[in-house]
């Protein structure tokens, strides 16, 4: 019985052919099964805008973050709830 090793690799689809982005160690004409999962091509700037929008939406839903402080570890209740301790 031949040992099967699953490998994940990135590829580019071009002119009807999948081209791996790195070298693949397989003999010519090896049969493989492909599972296609599209990879995001967003720029880091677009990704940053998306994260900022999601953060803003989550903070408004959760009702936290009103203090505007980024470091809340010293007094988390005051930063999150406006009190010195849990209610």
Higher pLDDT, 51 or 17: 17
- Evaluate if residue 69 carries a pLDDT over 60: no
Residue 83 contacts residue 77 (beta carbons within 8 Å): yes
- What is the total count of domains within the chain? 1
Q: Is 57 within a domain? A: yes
Alpha-carbon distance of 66 to 48, in angstroms, equals 21
Q: pLDDT digits over 1-29, tens only?
A: 556 777 788 888 889 998 998 998 889 99
Alpha-carbon distance of 72 to 80, in angstroms, equals 8
DSSP single-letter state for residue 82: S
Alpha-carbon distance of 32 to 23, in angstroms, equals 15
What global pTM score does this model have? 0.38
Q: Is 14 within a domain? A: no
Model pLDDT, residue 65: 54
Q: Is 74 within a domain? A: yes
Domain of 69? 44-81
Place of tokens 């580019």: 12
Q: Is 25 within a domain? A: no
Q: Is 7 within a domain? A: no
Which residues fall within 8 angstroms of residue 82, CB to CB, at 6 or more apart?
Answer: 66, 67
């Amino acid at each position: 019985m031949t040992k099967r090793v699953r490998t994940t690799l990135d590829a580019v689809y071009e002119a009807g052919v999948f081209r791996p982005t790195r070298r693949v160690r397989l003999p010519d004409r090896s049969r493989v099964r492909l599972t296609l999962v599209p990879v995001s091509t967003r720029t880091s700037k677009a990704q940053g805008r998306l994260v900022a929008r999601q953060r803003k939406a989550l903070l408004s839903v959760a009702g936290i973050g009103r203090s505007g402080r980024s470091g809340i570890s010293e007094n988390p209740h005051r930063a999150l709830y406006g009190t010195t301790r849990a209610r």
